[in-house]
Amino acid sequence: HLDFSEQYYHFFHQHFQWMKSYQPMEKPGPSSILGVSQLKPGEEEGYRVAYNPEGTGCGAAMRSMCIGLKYPKPDQLLSLVAVAVETGRMTHPHPTGFLGAVASALFASYAVQRRPMTTWGLGLINEACPVARTIIQGRGFAVDETERDWGYFCDKWQWYLDLRGLSNGVGPLLWPPSYGPAERDEAYKSFSLSGWAGRSGHDAPMIALDALLGAGSDWEELMNRAAFHGGDSDSTAVIAACCWGLLYGTNGVPEGNYSNLEYRDRLERCAEQLYALSH
């Protein structure tokens, strides 16, 4: 049983109050804002928010890689999925939204494990998603609504694996004969829920994985694929860059990309504490 203490609520309230001070283009998405407004600190199960059929966005996916760093080992899959599901549902109670949190957390843990990247998507739908479904059924909250809307996430991921020749987890990878910026923009739209590439919980990690598979250890190519496209590019880039950093560190990354980061000291301190917790 997970202990959702006051510390969880404090984190979410403070985090989003801070983010609301950003400029309009930098603030959290509508599902994140709505979800946080419904949290009830101090009340029993106050971390539950009403089921939202529009809560399909990528906000939960964007913030969940740290869960994979807390639970990086194969035998910690249950804990990883449980935490990703419940923290994801705080703001994105639709499965397309909170399963994105599962995907991002899982991919970060796979990067730590050095699991072959060609198996990541298959692990998501064959290993993690069934665990998530069992957790939802066991919690007894919004089960009917979640079951009703469950299929899209896994079906779209299976579609992607078929498209890339990864249904067997081995490959070989199948790429279009031409896959430059214009072609990627069209492809990413086909990944999406409604034409806005990377906006949703399923396709933000999907585009990130697509970029990781295509870029290998080349940082510039990763940015070309994950960060420079016509969709929700910051969301796809943050997931891809986290996993890439776990694999390759700062090798080949221009120093200007990390030397003067805002809140760098805070980030490094949190990273050290997270590493200590996970080890």
Alpha-carbon distance of 121 to 106, in angstroms, equals: 10
Phi/psi at 57 (5° precision) = -70, 180
What CA–CA distance (Å, rounded) separates 123 from 136? 19
Compute CA 27 distance to the chain's CA centroid, rounded to the nearest angstrom: 18
User: Is 190 marked as binding a ligand?
Assistant: no
Query: 234 labelled as ligand-binding?
Result: yes
To the question of whether residue 203 is assigned a binding role by annotation, the answer is no
Taking the CB of residue 19, how many other CB atoms lie within 10 A of it?
14
Per-residue buried b or exposed e for 200-226, using 16+ beta carbons within 10 Å of the residue's own CB: bbbbbbbbbbbbbbbbeeebeebbbbb
CA angle 70, 72, 76 (to 5 degrees): 90
Please give the annotated binding residues, written as ranges.
232, 234-235
Please give the annotated binding residues for Mg(2+), written as ranges.
232, 234-235
